[in-house]
Structure 1
Amino acid sequence: MREVRPLNIAYLCALAGFFLPGLLVFREIPPAYFFFCGLLGLAALFRERRELSLRIQALLALPALAYTVLRLSVETLIPVLSGFLLVLQTAKFLGPRTPRDLLQSFLLNTLLLVGAALLRFDLLYAGVFFLEVLLTVSGLFFLFASRESSRLPEPSAKALALASFGASVAVLFFSGFYFLVLPRARFTLFSLARGRGLTGVSDRVAPGEISALKEDQAVAFRVRWLRGRRPQRPYFRIYVYNVYRQGVWESRLPRRKRGRNEPADFEVEVLPEALGRGLPVPGYALEVATLKGPQAEVLSEGLVRTREEVLEPSLYRLKGRLGPYPADLPPEEFLYVPPEIRRALVGLALRLRRTSLPETVAAAVAYLQKHYTYTLSPGKPRGEPLLWFLFSSRKGHCEYFAGALTFLLRTLGIPARVVGGYAGGEWNPLGGYYLLRQNQAHTWVEYFDPARGWLSVDPTPASGGIQVPPSRWRLLWDYLEFKWYYWVLEYDFLKQRRLFLKVGRGLEGLPRSAWHPHLWPQAALLLVLPLLGILLWRRPRPRSPVEEFLCLFERRGLARLPGETLKTYAERLCRIFPHLSQEISRFVELYYREAYGQEKTRKAQQELLENLRARLDIEVSQGLKSFKKKRPFKL
């Protein structure tokens, strides 16, 4: 029969448990730590024994410790400590494979998993966490089994693996249960554990800043559509820019807001995934409710800001209306054109003037899209960036097109402004939300129509906004990430309270007939079944005949010695009990035939065991009678 070494299985579990969290955090850890790990590997490669002693491990880890101390700060605390754990774990795997060393390796793996949670607590981490629990529990099972025997028969190893899998499932179940019921705090260890990056749109846009984001696939926001008509290609407004200076647009709108009692066209939930204070609005925001995170408020022109930068998992609910947008500020504030640009554009603007406002805007947009080319790398501008784009390079990205159309319309006396946000987005029908990525950051133009209000127009050629449709697998993965974010990262006291209230209402909503006096056995069954399950769980496992055999002689002071095989132990018992040697030898023979020969000898073992127990009990009783005759008790 094949045998396995449980210590080797425990070592493989620890090694796999080391690589899984390491793959999660390798981008966040400073590269110097991988250099230290390589030094450890080279030291082990050029040694004859291939195993590093504890002294050599400590000496090689000292440079990593010094580097960690020098790099340690509040901002780099988690990455450098995780990197140092990576070095320690590498040194540990290059050392001896003793049970004590493997136990330390499992501890280091757990610490590395905690560090990975603080750096990257996403859906991929959930899968790694599940595998890590399975590997750790299985490794500990085989590690402690190796202390009992250096080799295990293959059926015993399979049974041990099955038991470890059941224990892992139990650990995950109770972890989820405690996650749901334990009191929730506002800030947790995972509040900053999402690998946040800077938001793609800010209150200041310089030439090239938006185009630099076109290669970034990182998620910036998720906008869940709750109610209302969904536009075919929505534009999510974040900033309205009203100040221009040498190619740089800035948003310096007053913070005052005006209450409007208007019916809302839509209702959405915004889940930020990036740092920043602006929230995307698919139109004009009327009101905002802060469900979690820094307090948000509606400002002028229907924009939404948070009072503090979003540094934790947050959730906001917005109500608003689609365009045209009302004018909170006097439209005349959006007519200024720098003199240098006005002198250069006045001739072109007059040629584009038409009899009506919509025709003039359409002519200006058509002119820009026909005579200019969209590109992400137009080159470094010389002189005034906007004039360089219009009269020299004739190619640029969305900032140039939006700025050119804005000043063309202002030169003709039409109020216009540049707006920054996200265009389009990826619609996920599985979760009913828009996924806004950094590469979808965009700028466009809003012009004022006295009869209707502010209207949106996008002068950037269509080639600048082409998006590859996401695949079904990508949409499914993002939907799972959305659920992970919504129910794990966003799980707070309010959601916990709503969950408990829903369970309570479900119990209250049961039909009264379910609690009828004649149906009391139902209630009794609901109480008895959990208690019965606990009793069955706590019920001791029936011992095998060989375990009963060992206990039979252990109770008589003849315990099996450490490292003593069953055959050697039986030979020692035969020398002590020569009149029982035949039964003892026969029992051991039957056990080996069952364990290694796959023969069914369990019944014969049980009969021999009962015979041995009966003969030993007779000997004990006869010994007590003879003892009482020689030494009677005195009362």
Structure 2
Amino acid sequence: MNALIPVQPIRYRQFVSIIAAQFVVFFPHVFHLPVLFSVLAFITLMGLWLMARRRKIFHSQPPKFYQYIIVTAGLAIILVTYRTLIGVDAGVAFLALCLLGKLLELKQRRDSYIALTLSLFVVASLFLFEQSIFNAAMALLAILAIFYALLQQNINPDLLYHHSAQLKTNIPEAINPSAGLWKPLLRLFLQAIPLLVVLFIFFPRIPPLWSVPISQSQGKTGMSDQMSPGNIASLSQSTELAFRVLDKQNNLARHLPPRSELYWRGLVLSKFDGVTWTQLKDYRADNPVWTGMQYQPEWFKQTFAGKLNTGFEYQVLLEPTQQQWLFALDVPFSRTRDVALTREYNLKSSREVYRQFSYDALQVKNLKRDTELPDWLKQVNLQLPANSNPRTRQLAQQVFNQVGRNPERYADYWLNWIRQQNFVYTLEPPVLSGQRIDQFLFESRRGFCEHYSSSYTFLMRAAGIPARVVVGYQGGQFSPDQQSWEVRQLDAHAWVEIWLAGRGWVRVDPTAAVAPERVEKGMNNFMQEDQQVFGNNVFGQLRSSQFRLLGQARVWADYASYVWQRDVVGFDQSQQQGLLQRLFGIKSMYVQVAWMVGSFITLLAIIVGIMWWRRRKVWHPLDAPLQRLSKKLTKENLARGESEGVVNWLQRLAAYPAYQKPAQELIQLYQQARYAPAGDEPAQAKVIQQMKKLVSSWPNRKE
């Protein structure tokens, strides 16, 4: 290795290009590395850059003491954060620490090559976390910066700097070649694009021999498994995509139900402690039915018997939630492997969703669920904390007796009461304490969907009507291409299910009684039209303006991400085979590989031919002896640069005492012949002979 790469110091511009590339390499990792580690990396890079500014030739390293401190601190941060060096998160952090350590050792050109090569591995590790379009763009930018730094390392330093100890005369510095490095760099990347396309289309998609454990340390915004005042309100101020819906028959506009019926069921919350609603932790409430399972519980047979062949079939692309529950339209069913239907009619995955998850779903309409409610389930959905909200309990009993103890009339009464009592739908409700439902119904009357669903469920249970809270999403909107339906976190919603004899579980949405536009138009349109939902103060107005400005940008950004995931990341073996069969009629993998190799060789031959043609140069007769001299001086690292002028080059040679006289003679001969009157070929031929003789007798430089 040492014999191949000359021992040369790293020049200032070369070192700065390396450090600049590292800033680009480390930036996207800030979202995955520990905060303290990112701070340590930033301080290290800034320290190296500031130290390099003090000299034009970077020939020294930071003191060993500082190197040990930085590496030890980085290792301690990794061990404290992950308690291991094994795994995706810890492994990537350790790889980044190795890169930092190598940067601290930079002294010779050989070190720069090793550091930049290691940087490429750090860039590649970015895709272990997320294969998003943002990561792809940042990786491309980092690779460009790394290759720019590599080109800098290969510039002849004698074209950039003239060390005062070597030069005896003042010679103007050549034009800085680094200023024109972007052009060959971009040309190199453009030449690689055809090869990239060939490999992307033809290279066989072979299943991996092993799997990489998915990172589980990153928090995600999403639905919680409990509900208390403020949870969904804070979630509904986020425009982050929750999931995307695709029609199995590619006619979503025709098959999608009306917006007011788009209730994307997620979780059932049955337990209430006076403040928070939570899931029932009982195996009887789970009792899932998995796809392909031979045994089917009695409740499943009674509900779905003979009805799973009709309904709206669609596909859901769920964003990472780090939870098992899935979302689907009432009443849901799924034939996707590892997806189950629970006793409470929710879909769940066999494992937590740590990356985008695709599953099929079926909406079965007009179903009656639990027309005969088991006693244990009835008791669960009648449970209320003792001595909680006495005013609500008392009024509930009075109204129930007033309507003749009729559950349906009782449920309708409270919906009408909410409409008539000046309730306000807002994301900024007042803080409640103590008997919260009493305070909400009789004092504040300002709240979000969790306030209305919680209070309505309490009112039903207080009258002896089984009821429960359902959380999920409501509504959504079409994507920009009208081919998919986008549901965002701002569409998070809570509603109520009450049990009625002979009808089973019936959906009731008390929020629609106070804010029907929320259900009919969707949360996105409702928030754009009604500023009051953000509050009436100055901060509410600012949030409303921000929502309008950023909402559309987020829609297009998510759509671009969806197209990237669908057409690039999701280009799997089946899609590849379908494309190759449509375009070229290829069905065999052997033919596919042959096409790939043939296309690769053809493109490579074309690129090499173009490069040869563009580099082809018609030399002037005067240049022949100069070419011989340049080749002769290559071993001394004094060859003529590709873009260096003849006179500038000869002046550079004249700076050395041994070459001063012959170089000056060559300059005179060259200028005499180059600028001689046209048509004087004999005189020019004579000068060429003199130049050849001078080159043949060129002296050896004496050190």
**TM norm structure 2:** 0.66
Q: 508, 519, 526: which is aligned to 2:585? A: 508
Q: Please give the secondary structure, in 2, of the residue aligned with 1:17.
A: helix
- Checking the alignment, whether the CA contact within 8 Å between 1:191 and 1:311 is kept in structure 2 is no
* Change beyond 3 A, Cα 1:527–1:9: closer
Query: Aligned residue for 2:644?
Result: none
* Change beyond 3 A, Cα 1:479–1:431: farther
Displacement, 1:542?
2.9
CA distance in 1: counterparts of 2:360 and 2:467, whole angstroms = 29
Query: Aligned residue for 1:512?
Result: none
Give 2:332's aligned amino acid.
A
- 1:24-43 aligned at under 5 Å gives the runs 24-33=28-37, 36=40
CA deviations on 1:82-110 (whole Å, 9 max, x unpaired) are 66777787788799786445435534543
Give 1:326's aligned amino acid.
K
* Change beyond 3 A, Cα 1:352–1:286: farther
Query: Aligned residue for 1:164?
Result: 185
Give 1:363's aligned amino acid.
Y
Displacement, 1:612?
5.5
Q: 18, 21, 25: which is aligned to 1:14? A: 18
- 1:300-311 aligned at under 5 Å gives the runs 300=343, 302-311=345-354
Question: Is 1:61 aligned to 2:70, yes or no?
Answer: yes
CA distance in 1: counterparts of 2:268 and 2:663, whole angstroms = 97
Higher mean alpha-carbon deviation, 348-357 vs 216-225, is at 348-357
Q: 559, 572, 575: which is aligned to 1:498? A: 575
* Change beyond 3 A, Cα 1:328–1:254: farther
- 1:383-394 aligned at under 5 Å gives the runs 385-387=436-438, 389-390=440-441, 394=445
Question: Is 1:287 aligned to 2:334, yes or no?
Answer: yes
Which consecutive unaligned segments of at least 5 residues does structure 2 have?
1-9, 162-172, 290-299, 529-547, 587-597, 641-648, 698-703
CA deviations on 1:270-310 (whole Å, 9 max, x unpaired) are 333221111110222233324xxxx1123345421111212
Question: Is 1:344 aligned to 2:397, yes or no?
Answer: no
CA distance in 1: counterparts of 2:264 and 2:336, whole angstroms = 18
Query: Aligned residue for 1:183?
Result: 205
Displacement, 1:349?
3.6
CA distance in 1: counterparts of 2:41 and 2:437, whole angstroms = 51
CA distance in 2: counterparts of 1:351 and 1:455, whole angstroms = 22
Displacement, 1:172?
5.4
Give 1:476's aligned amino acid.
W
CA distance in 2: counterparts of 1:304 and 1:350, whole angstroms = 35
Higher mean alpha-carbon deviation, 233-242 vs 433-442, is at 433-442
Higher mean alpha-carbon deviation, 144-153 vs 499-508, is at 144-153
Question: Is 1:533 aligned to 2:616, yes or no?
Answer: no
Question: Is 1:421 aligned to 2:472, yes or no?
Answer: yes
- Checking the alignment, whether the CA contact within 8 Å between 2:25 and 2:122 is kept in structure 1 is yes
Give 2:472's aligned amino acid.
G
CA deviations on 1:553-593 (whole Å, 9 max, x unpaired) are 578x67562247742797799x99x99997785348879x9
Q: 417, 424, 445: which is aligned to 1:367? A: 417
CA distance in 2: counterparts of 1:533 and 1:53, whole angstroms = 45
CA distance in 2: counterparts of 1:203 and 1:69, whole angstroms = 31
CA distance in 1: counterparts of 2:204 and 2:686, whole angstroms = 51
CA distance in 2: counterparts of 1:358 and 1:367, whole angstroms = 14
* Change beyond 3 A, Cα 1:285–1:53: same
CA deviations on 1:365-391 (whole Å, 9 max, x unpaired) are 2323535555555436326x5455445
Query: Aligned residue for 2:527?
Result: 467
- Checking the alignment, whether the CA contact within 8 Å between 1:389 and 1:400 is kept in structure 2 is yes
CA distance in 2: counterparts of 1:316 and 1:79, whole angstroms = 28
CA distance in 2: counterparts of 1:396 and 1:297, whole angstroms = 34
Displacement, 1:223?
2.7
CA distance in 2: counterparts of 1:136 and 1:209, whole angstroms = 45
* Change beyond 3 A, Cα 1:124–1:425: same
The aligned length equals 581
Displacement, 1:170?
3.9
Displacement, 1:417?
2.5
Displacement, 1:316?
1.0
CA distance in 2: counterparts of 1:430 and 1:190, whole angstroms = 34
- Checking the alignment, whether the CA contact within 8 Å between 1:237 and 1:280 is kept in structure 2 is yes
* Change beyond 3 A, Cα 1:379–1:327: same
- Checking the alignment, whether the CA contact within 8 Å between 2:403 and 2:410 is kept in structure 1 is yes
- Checking the alignment, whether the CA contact within 8 Å between 2:270 and 2:279 is kept in structure 1 is yes
* Change beyond 3 A, Cα 1:380–1:572: closer
* Change beyond 3 A, Cα 1:182–1:15: farther
CA distance in 1: counterparts of 2:662 and 2:25, whole angstroms = 61
Displacement, 1:176?
5.7
Question: Is 1:440 aligned to 2:467, yes or no?
Answer: no
CA distance in 2: counterparts of 1:9 and 1:488, whole angstroms = 37
- Checking the alignment, whether the CA contact within 8 Å between 1:199 and 1:275 is kept in structure 2 is no
- 1:118-267 aligned at under 5 Å gives the runs 118-147=128-157, 149-150=159-160, 160-171=181-192, 174-175=195-196, 177-178=198-199, 181-185=203-207, 192=214, 197-198=219-220, 200-226=222-248, 227=252, 228-233=255-260, 234-247=262-275, 248-251=277-280, 252=282, 253-257=285-289, 258=300, 259=304, 260-267=307-314
CA distance in 1: counterparts of 2:671 and 2:212, whole angstroms = 57
Q: Please give the secondary structure, in 2, of the residue aligned with 1:421.
A: strand
Query: Aligned residue for 1:483?
Result: 563
Q: 458, 470, 473: which is aligned to 2:509? A: 458
- Checking the alignment, whether the CA contact within 8 Å between 1:256 and 1:299 is kept in structure 2 is yes
CA distance in 1: counterparts of 2:686 and 2:440, whole angstroms = 98
Which consecutive unaligned segments of at least 5 residues does structure 1 have?
1-5, 510-524, 594-598, 621-635
- Checking the alignment, whether the CA contact within 8 Å between 2:12 and 2:53 is kept in structure 1 is no
* Change beyond 3 A, Cα 1:200–1:160: closer
- Checking the alignment, whether the CA contact within 8 Å between 1:7 and 1:146 is kept in structure 2 is no
Higher mean alpha-carbon deviation, 220-229 vs 305-314, is at 220-229
Quote the RMSD (CA, aligned, Å). 5.2
**TM norm structure 1:** 0.73
Displacement, 1:255?
1.9
CA distance in 2: counterparts of 1:263 and 1:186, whole angstroms = 38
* Change beyond 3 A, Cα 1:443–1:74: farther
* Change beyond 3 A, Cα 1:390–1:608: farther
